């Protein structure tokens, strides 16, 4: 484990290394406890660099066995070796030389899951961001691009399958039960994209013919016997390859494309060139074991990693500060892919919900950082919602500002100009300026400035002058180390809607640049005057969520009700209804329910009933609209002095009121959506299941609800329905015989399937109430649970701490105490997963004073632990700062 050195890396300190490594030849002789790695590196001194410049290579916990330069042993006085660094003090005077490094590793003991490790007896690697230095000494930074040739030797019985990046060269027998395979990747790549897999796995094979007619062999490798569960992933891969050709003109470039699913994996998946390695959770699926959400995730993640082949691999990042160059852009691409495969409106709402749930709290708390950070202590902690999700929103805004055609021209220029480069955000923004002739310098602040901008908006209508005025004011709240903010360029899409639901015309506009339904907010304050407006319009703002901002709008409830029924922009219509629900929940939280509020509640429950039954809306959309804002969403909107128990009570009361008001209509609709037994994971079928399960949730709070949910559970023919019913029983009726029986039945059926048992852990970890901390503690001893497996830890501990507001924030602090002990326990094996878990307390300052004090105590108990890893110390100290 790498302990914290306190070193801070700064963007402004970037400079190219004195040396390059144009060729890398690796030989692995695999063995669980003593794998030998021989790296033969062609080292080239950069022009103009003094011949006396030492060569300093990165390492992490390495054991050096031998070192040679140009075939000769290096004298001990000519190098310095420690587990974390290798320095060649006097490199040869020649411009180019060959450096051989022989190291020994113990993959079986590698529980951090970075570098070379074993998952269920399969050798596999994870090198992003800095895992390659755990394999051999190297210039382990993304601007060192090298052509790799890899030879893998292993016992044939133990590892009949030997894979690496690129194309296969040859394979053969070595005698004594050993065999080898060689791979060559012709595309220069950074070390973080290196991959190796060796083991005994089953294969699903297929092929794809590219745009130019080349045949690419496709393979998905999974635990033997589970090949059939990879069918959906293969289908998603082929659709992704086709889509990237059509949408971005990007064709695949190697002869083979392989995906390997492993069960111990820190992240979702990894885009290693030609050899993607996946968390098996994002590969394996069928109706019996996967929910519709799992299918959608598999489709999105397969696409995401595949799209990285161009945005990340062919064009990579100059340094880790540029992480969003590959991630923000590739998330944008996978979002567009899913929108084309499914319903665009539903997809957009889901994206925005995710952004608000994960990125907004980051921006509003102690861990706030710009999409492109300027400094870090541990890069593993910057794989954040800000870099990924907000990074994607920034690319989306570029498209909104430029328009579809100029955006595509900019992307084409990006691929043309930077293919084979390690590029920067400045390079990326420049291609769009060059392709469109627009000045994006103010816009580029989205990359450099942290915090969620707020727009305060009010409107007036002057019937005599036929003039409608929007007064818009922008502000960006301060964030850690950025107290003064500059003004942003915010593309605000809008619509003016008249009484009949039609767009209201206007003849002129002044006060801001307005194009194609978008107001370009650039100044602190704009008075946007629309002339020739015949009636007072309702104004629909931030349509399609054109900018990731918060809005403070002075808008009458009547206008919100109107927009929730009539807005022609599907996103904004959803938003209007969601705002009303949030308002109702916050009002209840503040206990200001009066006569006026009762009327508001009646109008709201009536509107919920009418949206549920609106056949012009697709079922998936209705399901999303009827999903009440989550407890964490409400807490975020309230902002301070949070009491999770009060929020929970308000939310339950609203769910009960909506269900009671539409009980009969919901029952009829619920029955009409009954499962026919046929199954398809497509979006329309998933949408019907989503609506039916949302209705079940409401009906379960009504008389007879537990029996209804139990029946739903017993008659389910797919995992979506079964898991939804189990969650309803466990959450709404947690001590009932029905709930206890269903949990036991689920365990009996799926006890031996770890991925399905993750759902069982998740459902129990998210049961509201003070008793859940005891349940979760007890479940850590369950035979299906393991502290060493990231999926298990995230399902049980991660769900409890990030998705159970009343359980985790238990008033006496027991949730926090359990949490801090567990984070430290996980850290002993896997610092990266522990650091990710620890972010659950990032919003601790918004809690009411008593919980705040207890949360701080828990954070301090982590901070004061001995030998804290760099990963965990970085998160905890920033959270407490
Ligand atoms: Zn990615």
Nearest CA to 151 out of 126, 171, 122 is that of: 171
For the stretch 363-401, pLDDT in tens is 999 999 999 999 999 999 999 999 999 999 999 999 999
CA distance 348 to 350: 5
**What distance in angstroms lies between residue 381's CA and the mean position of ligand 1's atoms?**
15
**What distance in angstroms lies between residue 6's CA and the mean position of ligand 1's atoms?**
28
For the stretch 747-763, pLDDT in tens is 999 999 999 999 999 99
For the stretch 692-708, pLDDT in tens is 999 999 999 999 999 99
Do the Cβ atoms of 815 and 809 come closer than 8 Å? yes
Ligand 1 (ion): residues with CB under 5 Å are: 327, 330
Half-sphere exposure of 473 (CA within 13 A, CB side): 8
Residue 352's pLDDT is: 98
When pLDDT is averaged across residues 335-343 and rounded to a whole number, the result is 97
**What distance in angstroms lies between residue 327's CA and the mean position of ligand 1's atoms?**
5
CA distance 195 to 197: 7
Residue 308's pLDDT is: 98
For the stretch 469-504, pLDDT in tens is 999 999 999 999 898 999 999 999 999 999 988 999
Helices of type H across 258-369: 292-307, 323-341, 344-354, 360-363
For the stretch 204-239, pLDDT in tens is 999 999 999 999 999 999 999 999 999 999 999 999
For the stretch 281-334, pLDDT in tens is 999 999 999 999 999 999 999 999 999 999 999 999 999 999 999 999 999 999
* Buried b / exposed e along 281-307 (16+ C-beta atoms within 10 A): bbbbbbbebbbbebbbbbbbbbbbbbb
Nearest CA to 548 out of 406, 402, 371, 427 is that of: 371
For the stretch 420-460, pLDDT in tens is 999 999 999 999 999 999 999 999 999 999 999 999 999 99
Quote the radius of gyration of the chain (alpha carbons, Å): 28
Residue 592's pLDDT is: 43
**What distance in angstroms lies between residue 278's CA and the mean position of ligand 1's atoms?**
12
**What distance in angstroms lies between residue 623's CA and the mean position of ligand 1's atoms?**
29
Residue 599's pLDDT is: 83
When pLDDT is averaged across residues 348-371 and rounded to a whole number, the result is 97
State the pairing for strand pair 85-88/55-58.
antiparallel
Do the Cβ atoms of 295 and 681 come closer than 8 Å? yes
* Buried b / exposed e along 783-807 (16+ C-beta atoms within 10 A): ebbbbebbbbbbbbbbbbbbbbbbb
Residue 665's pLDDT is: 98
> Rounded to a whole number, what is the largest CA-CA distance in the chain?
96
**What distance in angstroms lies between residue 659's CA and the mean position of ligand 1's atoms?**
41
Residue 1's pLDDT is: 58
**Residue 587 binned pLDDT confidence (cut-offs 50, 70, 90):** confident
CA distance 491 to 860: 42
User: Does the pLDDT value for residue 593 go beyond 50?
Assistant: no
Task: Kindly name the residue from 223, 305, 362, 393 that is annotated as catalytic.
Answer: 305
The neighbour count for residue 516, using CB atoms within 10 Å, is: 9
User: Does the pLDDT value for residue 590 go beyond 50?
Assistant: yes
**What distance in angstroms lies between residue 127's CA and the mean position of ligand 1's atoms?**
13
Mean pLDDT, all residues of the chain: 96
**Residue 589 binned pLDDT confidence (cut-offs 50, 70, 90):** low
- pTM of this prediction? 0.98
Virtual torsion, Cα 335, 341, 344, 346, nearest 10 deg: -90
For the stretch 164-183, pLDDT in tens is 999 999 999 999 999 999 99
Residue 192's pLDDT is: 98
CA distance 383 to 131: 15
Do the Cβ atoms of 252 and 309 come closer than 8 Å? yes
Residue 574's pLDDT is: 98
**What distance in angstroms lies between residue 77's CA and the mean position of ligand 1's atoms?**
43
- Residue whose structure tokens are 């990710």: 836
CA distance 85 to 81: 6
305 catalytic per annotation: yes
| SS3 readout for 398-461 | HHHHHCHHHHHHHHHHHHHHHCCCEECHHHHHHHHHHHHCCCCCCCCHHHHCCCCCEEEEEEEE
590 versus 701: the higher-pLDDT residue is: 701
Half-sphere exposure of 513 (CA within 13 A, CB side): 8
CA distance 485 to 482: 7
User: Does the pLDDT value for residue 834 go beyond 50?
Assistant: yes
User: Does the pLDDT value for residue 260 go beyond 60?
Assistant: yes
Q: What is the DSSP letter of 195?
A: -
Nearest CA to 612 out of 557, 690, 674, 665 is that of: 665
Query: 831-838 and 870-880 helices cross at what angle (nearest 10)?
Result: 10
**What distance in angstroms lies between residue 87's CA and the mean position of ligand 1's atoms?**
32
For the stretch 598-623, pLDDT in tens is 788 889 999 999 999 999 999 999 99
CA distance 345 to 810: 37
Question: Could you give the angle at the alpha carbon of 744 between the alpha carbons of 741 and 750, nearest 5°?
Answer: 135
Work out the burial of residue 496: count CB atoms within 10 Å of its CB; fewer than 13 is exposed, 13-18 middle, 19 or more buried. Answer: buried
Residue 662's pLDDT is: 97
Q: Tell me the two tokens of residue 572.
A: 């904004």
- Residue 251 three-state SS: coil
Residue 601's pLDDT is: 85
Virtual torsion, Cα 495, 499, 503, 509, nearest 10 deg: -60
List, as one string, the DSSP characters of 23-79.
EEEEEEE--SS-EEEEEEEEEEEPTT--TTPPEEEE-SS-EEEEEEETTEEPPGGGE
**What distance in angstroms lies between residue 138's CA and the mean position of ligand 1's atoms?**
23
């Amino acid at each position: 484990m790498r302990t914290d050195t306190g070193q801070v890396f700064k963007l402004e300190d970037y400079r190219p290394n004195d040396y390059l490594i144009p060729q890398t030849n690796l030989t692995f002789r695999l063995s669980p406890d003593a794998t030998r790695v021989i790296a033969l590196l062609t080292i080239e001194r950069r022009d103009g660099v003094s011949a006396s410049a030492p060569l300093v290579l990165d390492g992490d916990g390495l054991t050096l066995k031998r070192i040679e330069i140009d075939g000769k042993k290096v004298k001990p006085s000519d190098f310095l070796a420690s587990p974390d660094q290798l320095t060649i003090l006097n490199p040869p005077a020649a411009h180019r030389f060959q450096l051989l490094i022989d190291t020994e590793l113990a993959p079986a003991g590698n529980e951090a899951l970075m570098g070379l490790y074993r998952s269920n007896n399969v050798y596999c690697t994870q090198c992003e961001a800095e895992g390659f230095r755990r394999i051999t000494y190297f210039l382990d930074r993304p601007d060192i691009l090298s052509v790799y040739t890899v030879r893998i030797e292993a016992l044939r019985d133990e590892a009949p399958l030997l894979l690496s990046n690129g194309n296969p060269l040859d394979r053969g027998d070595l005698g004594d039960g050993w065999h080898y395979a060689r791979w060559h990747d012709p595309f220069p790549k950074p070390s973080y994209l290196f991959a190796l897999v060796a083991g005994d796995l089953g294969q699903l094979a297929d092929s794809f013919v590219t745009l130019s007619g080349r045949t690419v062999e496709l393979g998905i490798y999974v635990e033997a016997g589970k090949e059939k569960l990879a069918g959906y992933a293969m289908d998603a891969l082929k659709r992704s390859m086709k889509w990237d050709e059509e949408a971005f003109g990007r064709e695949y470039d190697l002869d083979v494309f392989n995906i390997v699913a492993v069960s111990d994996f820190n992240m979702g998946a990894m885009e290693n060139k030609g050899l993607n390695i996946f968390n098996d959770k994002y590969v394996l699926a069928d109706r019996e074991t996967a929910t519709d959400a799992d299918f959608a995730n598999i489709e999105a993640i397969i696409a995401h990693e595949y799209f990285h082949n161009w945005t990340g691999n062919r064009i990579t990042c100059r340094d880790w500060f540029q992480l969003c160059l590959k991630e923000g852009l590739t998330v944008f691409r996978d979002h567009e892919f899913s929108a084309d495969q499914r319903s665009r409106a539903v997809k957009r709402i889901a994206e925005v919900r995710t952004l608000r749930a994960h990125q907004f709290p980051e921006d509003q708390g102690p861990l706030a950082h710009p999409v492109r950070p300027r400094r870090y202590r541990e890069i593993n902690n910057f794989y954040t919602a800000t870099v990924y999700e907000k990074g994607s929103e920034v690319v989306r805004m570029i498209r909104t500002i430029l328009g579809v055609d100029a955006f595509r021209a900019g992307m084409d220029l990006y691929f043309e100009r930077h293919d084979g480069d390690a590029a920067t955000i400045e390079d990326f923004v420049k291609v769009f300026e060059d392709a469109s002739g627009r000045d994006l310098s103010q816009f580029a602040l989205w990359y450099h400035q942290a915090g969620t901008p707020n727009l305060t908006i009010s409107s007036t209508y002057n019937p005599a002058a036929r003039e409608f005025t929007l007064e818009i004011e922008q502000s960006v709240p301060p964030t850690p180390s950025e107290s003064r903010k500059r003004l942003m360029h915010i593309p605000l899409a809008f619509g003016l809607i008249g009484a009949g639901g039609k767009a209201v015309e206007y003849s002129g506009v002044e006060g801001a640049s307005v194009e194609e339904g978008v107001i370009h907010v650039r100044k602190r304050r704009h008075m946007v005057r629309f002339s020739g407006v015949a009636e007072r319009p309702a104004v629909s703002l931030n349509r399609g969520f054109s900018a990731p901002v918060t809005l403070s709008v002075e808008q009458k409830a009547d206008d919100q009700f109107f927009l929730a029924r009539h807005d022609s922009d599907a996103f904004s219509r959803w938003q209007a209804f969601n705002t009303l629900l949030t308002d109702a929940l916050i009002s209840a939280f503040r206990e200001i329910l009066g006569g006026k509020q009762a009327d508001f509640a009646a109008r709201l429950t009536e509107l919920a009933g009418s949206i549920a039954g609106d056949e012009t809306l697709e079922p998936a959309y209705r399901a999303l609209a009827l999903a009440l804002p989550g407890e964490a969403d409400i807490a975020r909107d309230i902002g301070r002095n949070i009491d999770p128990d009060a929020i929970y009570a308000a939310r339950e009361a609203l769910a009960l009121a909506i269900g009671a008001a539409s009980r009969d209509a919901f029952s009829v609709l619920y029955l009409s959506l009954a499962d026919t037994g046929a199954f398809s994971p497509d979006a329309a079928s998933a949408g019907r299941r989503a609506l039916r399960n949302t209705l079940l949730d409401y009906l379960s709070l009504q008389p007879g609800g537990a029996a209804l949910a139990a029946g739903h559970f017993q008659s389910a023919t797919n995992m979506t329905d079964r898991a939804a019913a189990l969650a309803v029983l466990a959450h709404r009726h947690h001590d009932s015989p029905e709930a206890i029986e269903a949990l036991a039945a689920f365990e009996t059926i799926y006890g031996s399937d770890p991925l399905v048992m993750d759902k069982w852990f998740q459902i129990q970890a998210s049961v509201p109430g003070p008793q859940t901390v005891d349940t979760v503690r007890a479940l850590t001893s369950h035979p299906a649970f393991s502290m060493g497996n990231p999926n298990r830890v995230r399902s049980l501990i991660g769900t409890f701490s990030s998705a159970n507001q009343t359980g985790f924030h238990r008033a006496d602090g027991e949730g926090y105490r359990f949490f801090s002990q567990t984070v430290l326990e996980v850290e002993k094996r896997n610092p990266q997963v522990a650091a990710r878990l620890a972010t659950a307390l990032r919003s601790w300052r918004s809690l009411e004073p008593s919980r705040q004090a207890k949360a701080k105590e828990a954070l301090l108990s982590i901070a004061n632990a001995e030998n804290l890893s760099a990963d965990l110390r970085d998160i905890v100290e920033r959270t407490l700062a």
